[in-house]
Amino acid sequence: MEKITQYLIQSTVHGSEVRAWEEDIMLPTYEIGEEEKNPIFLEKRVYQGSCGAVYPYPVVEKISDKKADKKYHALFIENEYIKVMVLPELGGRIHMAYDKVKKRHFVYYNQVVKPALVGLTGPWISGGIEFNWPQHHRPSTFLPTDFLIEENADGSKTIWCNEVERMFRTKGMQGFTLYPGKAYIEIKVKIYNRTSFPQTFLWWANPAVVVNDHYHSVFPPDVNAVFDHGKRDVSSFPIATGVYYKQDYSAGVDISKYKNIPVPTSYMAIKSKYDFVGGYEEDVRGGLLHVADHHVSPGKKQWTWGNGDFGKAWDRNLTDEDGPYIELMTGMYTDNQPDFTWLQPYEEKSWVQYFMPYSEVGYVKNATKDALLNLEIKEGKARLVLYTTGVNSGVRIIVKDIKGTVLLDRTTQVSPSEPFVTTFAAEGLKEEDVCAEVRDKEGAVLLSYQADKPEIKPIPDPAKAAKDPQDIASIEQLFLTGLHLEQYRHATYNPMDYYKEALRREPGDVRCNNAVGLLLMRKGQFAMAESYFRKAVETLTERNPNPYDGEPYYNLGWSCMMQQKWEEAYDAFFKSAWNAAWQDAAYYALAQLDTRKGKYESALDKIDRSLIRNWHNHKARQLKTSILRKLGRKEEALALVSESLQIDRFNMGCRFEHYLLTRDVKVLEEMKELMRGWAHGYIEYALDFAAAGLYEEALSLLECHVTGTTEIYPVVYYAMGYFHTCKGDESKALEYYQRAEKENHSYCFPNRIEEVLILQDALRLNIHGAKAAYSLGNFWYANRQYDNAIACWEHSAAINLAYPTVWRNLSLAYYNKRDDKQKALETLEKAYALDEHDSRILMELDQLYKRLGRPHSERLAFLEAHLPEVEQRDDLSIERITLYNQSGRYAEAKELIAARNFHPWEGGEGKITGQYVLCRVELAKIALSEKRYADALALLNETDVYPVNLGEGKLANAEENDIWYYKGEALRGLGNEQQAIDCFTKATIGSSEPQQAFFYNDQQPDKIFYQGLAWRALGREDKARSCFNKLIKHGEKHLFDHCRIDYFAVSLPDLAIWEDDLDKRNRIHCNYVMGLGYLGLREMGKAIDFLDKVRELDINHQGGQIHRNLCAV
């Protein structure tokens, strides 16, 4: 690896030139498994504090343990100061950023591509700079992007990466520019909403930096507090003084320093008036700084796996030899995760941000893209350090006190290789008493700084959970709460509940009718949406036919347009255009409708009106080009194409128009090269043409994709069929629908609302289209239209009995939405019988058996009858190990654990380590019962550090009361009384207040039971009984609670497949803790009753089983 790295960092430029080029390189890589062919519907998965749904993307759940060199097509850009490598195949990330002056990677460089299961859809790699949108982490972080290199007139060069993401159909592009003589990377970003409805997004650039005991983050000096995800918790900063991430910092700990954070921790600045954030390594006197206008870049975040065993395990999962890192994230139009911003229809948001290496400055006090300054005063002496990102001769640095006395006035040269460092007298002065100013040789101010006066600033309160709809007093708050849940993509609270409650109280409410209609539109229910929009319009125009807000009219137009009610749509769009806020989107729709009718002069007028309001509506630019072509105004059309491609070089609609205007094959080939054969890109741009009735153009564009492609994504043919229907040629349409049916429908996950019309038409003309019905069912289920989904899948299954995915999908729907467990079981068993090599369906079937209470012996026999498939998956392997433990076959479980390398999902830790610990504790208990105390102690000592093959490390604040208790018993048996007392004492530590455990780092309730046993072993029966009584009282108090998922949950991987009954889970928990309490009090009859109830409710409850066995001891 070292040879490859040395090759990559070698300089290839001389002087002040900028060079950009493409090159194939070899990188050591751990490959990922195949994408999952079954659609994954994760409705209640919580990921990074918001919805963790992955549809329409496939997931990847397997990571290889074998490393091999792999070829990547890399893009390089380099000047005299910096060398950058971008990998468009891996989400368009900056993979390497090298500081040629300090001869160091100023962004963490991971020499190996070693994915772990961290991303939204699975694989994710550390290092470099990842660009996360429309949510965090980016759904396509491990997928290819479009790319090109642009040469600029000023000698700079830009690498562009571009993508139209599939979830919300927004378009994002980022351009990485190096300038001659400048030691920074400029990143220009454009996010464009290609849809006709509002969408939300966030943007977090995610650079990693090397960390060690000398590293500290550099947040602006006015940041006095930081928030956790969702603002659910808050800490003072940089000195934390309370409990944060369950870690006690009450002694006052500087959490800007990596060495002081032992557990996985995120924190995000609450607010700052400064434009920078960064990190610095004192040992090498170098760092990374980000600069962007704080008005659009409020997000300043640090994330670490923690400086401890847990973090080191994740370091091993993600790199071979490059060690720990932290993520120093920068948010644009966002200050938290989740924190989303609206993009209106066809709106583009753009910005510029800068990443730069720097040296010597340390704690930056103020910065711009041109200069960085630190000024510190200690014991009457001031130290000033200035770093500039270019050569600046004649820079003047002036420092005055508040009385105007000049303390320093120096003119000097400063550059990336020559930072300016000086000290001067400042007797009796504090930092807030002086002002520093830096001017260039022309006298313009580059930078200034004066510290704020120290004052006690308020620490903001954490955010509060949303109330239930019935508990909200006002209709306005119901609407705003529903809108917030939409905007933040909440995983478990449904905005529809809030809008519907408002409409129950006030059926004519404009905003809530409009909101419900929009939700239904997004779900493909156009007729249902229309009724809500009409109700909103009715209320809106009750007193005034010319309302203040045109949005309900605009949305009504779209609901009619999607039902081919052209005239009603035209009228509604025109009325919405009476309001300036909706003119650009409405006139664009009107131009589409005019084009559809061949009224090109009128269409041109409408599209011009649209573009006057929104010059960067890239779809409108394509449509105007099409209209000009239809009018025979070729030169104007070509000029518009040229202008449009200067704004967005990835406007594929305009590129195709360029070809249609010139018939130049080179133009077509250039477009095809940029589109890289990606079917979804072709579909998106074909739908743009079709929306204006330009079906020939849409067909021609799709034909460009089909020609020369061996395996066609089915929706391409379905769309071509639909376009022929719209042209009036149903026989040709049927031909394409039949072609589509013959294509492989693995990974066919429709998500565009137009695909509803396409697939419905396919079924109208070809009622026996089993796969069209299957695909439409996927759309309906992903959009929570469950009855429609079930009807489609049942129709598909009736035609094609041998398609396993349909039966599997029906099983999910029957269990989760119809509560028909028997039907769910029958259909999933049928699915697996049709394809016994599908390890995903095997896992789901085993989980269903588990939910239905199948005996452990039956489940184990079933899994062992399919060992090749079991061994393909970690989760199935862990279930097999768990069943060995539940069957008392601890030694065999121990052997199985040792024989496999595990790859945990982030947030899903604790599963294999739990079984690792359990089998050793149970074997130790057997040894204790047989008075083999040394053997028992040796087994328990094996839990001190987890072996590398588990893929997990131990948290610094891990609660191990049971282990310490049994260690005490073993040591007492060996006659080592003082050591036994030490262990028993450690076993008493921790919270004694019971709670239900949801997350891997939550305290398990049985830990309190072992606290009690430890107190008893120490002779403190009073304290022991207190622990046991707390367990009983907790169970009695909460037994009849109605439970729901925590509003602020950040990660909930266990609720991914089958619907969980949280009230039943609570009853299990309460019976369990009461059983533990009575077991501790030695009231065996009651203990047995409660623990038997646990088994009755859940035979898979390991704690219940283990402690029920203790009742007999």
pLDDT in tens, 282-322: 999 999 999 999 999 999 999 999 999 999 999 999 999 99
Q: For residue 1038, count CB atoms less than 10 angstroms from its CB and return exposed for 0-12, middle for 13-18, buried for 19 or more.
A: middle
Residues 174 and 278 in one domain: yes
Check if the beta carbon of residue 194 is closer than 8 Å to that of residue 619: yes
Closest to 981 measured CA to CA, from 991, 968, 992: 968
Domain total in the chain: 6
Residues 573 and 489 in one domain: yes
User: Last residue of some domain: 531, 559, 578?
Assistant: 578
User: DSSP for 787-837?
Assistant: HHHHHHHHHHHHH-TT-HHHHHHHHHHHHHHS--HHHHHHHHHHHHHH-TT
Q: What is the torsional sign of CA 301, 302, 305, 308?
A: negative
Question: What stretch of H or E contains 158?
Answer: strand 157-164
Task: Tell me which residue range forms the domain holding 1090.
Answer: 1015-1113
Decide if 74 is inside a domain: yes
Residues 318 and 392 in one domain: no
Decide if 158 is inside a domain: yes
Strand partners, 161: 147, 174
Rounded CA-CA distance 1035/1073 in Å is: 6
Check if the beta carbon of residue 386 is closer than 8 Å to that of residue 376: no
Decide if 905 is inside a domain: no
What's the half-sphere exposure (Cβ side, CA atoms, 13 Å) at 617?
A: 26
Could you tell me whether strands 234-236 and 170-178 are parallel, antiparallel, or unpaired per DSSP bridges? unpaired
Which residues, 6+ apart, have CB-to-CB distance to 1001 below 8 Å?
A: 246, 263, 910, 955, 957
Helix (H, G, I), strand (E, B) or coil at 1104: helix
Rounded CA-CA distance 890/702 in Å is: 59
Check if the beta carbon of residue 294 is closer than 8 Å to that of residue 367: no
Rounded CA-CA distance 236/252 in Å is: 10
Strand partners, 67: 30
Residues 78 and 95 in one domain: yes
How much is the pLDDT for 1055?
A: 55
- List the end-to-end C-alpha distance of the chain, in Å, as a whole number: 57
User: Last residue of some domain: 535, 555, 578?
Assistant: 578
What's the Cα-to-Cα distance from 666 to each of 28, 647, 659, 670, 681, rounded to whole Å? 36, 21, 9, 6, 20
Decide if 684 is inside a domain: no
Residue 601: CATH number of its domain: 1.25.40.10
How much is the pLDDT for 395?
A: 97
Check if the beta carbon of residue 281 is closer than 8 Å to that of residue 257: no
Residues 592 and 520 in one domain: no
Decide if 891 is inside a domain: no
Helix (H, G, I), strand (E, B) or coil at 32: strand
Burial 680-691 (b: 16+ CB within 10 A, else e): bbbbbbbbbbbb
Residue 34: CATH number of its domain: 2.70.98.10
How much is the pLDDT for 1002?
A: 81
Could you tell me whether strands 299-304 and 265-269 are parallel, antiparallel, or unpaired per DSSP bridges? antiparallel
Residues 381 and 353 in one domain: no
Q: Which two tokens stand for residue 38?
A: 């079954």
Closest to 633 measured CA to CA, from 603, 611, 609: 603
Residues 392 and 312 in one domain: no
Residues 481 and 341 in one domain: no
Decide if 865 is inside a domain: no
Residues 163 and 304 in one domain: yes
Residues 187 and 265 in one domain: yes
Q: Which two tokens stand for residue 393?
A: 């001769």
**pLDDT tens-digit profile of 931-942?**
999 999 999 999
Those residues of the chain that have pLDDT short of 50 are: none
How much is the pLDDT for 782?
A: 98
Residue 420: CATH number of its domain: 2.60.40.2550
Helices 1084-1097 and 1062-1080 pack at an angle, to 10 degrees, of 160
How much is the pLDDT for 1045?
A: 86
Decide if 934 is inside a domain: no
Rounded CA-CA distance 207/301 in Å is: 11
Residues 630 and 711 in one domain: no
Decide if 237 is inside a domain: no
How much is the pLDDT for 1049?
A: 81
Residues 195 and 339 in one domain: yes
User: Last residue of some domain: 735, 765, 800?
Assistant: 800
Closest to 407 measured CA to CA, from 433, 385, 387, 444: 433
How much is the pLDDT for 48?
A: 85
How much is the pLDDT for 2?
A: 82
Q: Which two tokens stand for residue 972?
A: 């007492």
DSSP 885: H
Rounded CA-CA distance 1070/1074 in Å is: 6
What's the half-sphere exposure (Cβ side, CA atoms, 13 Å) at 672?
A: 17
Rounded CA-CA distance 1037/375 in Å is: 58
Closest to 338 measured CA to CA, from 268, 237, 289: 268
Check if the beta carbon of residue 632 is closer than 8 Å to that of residue 731: no
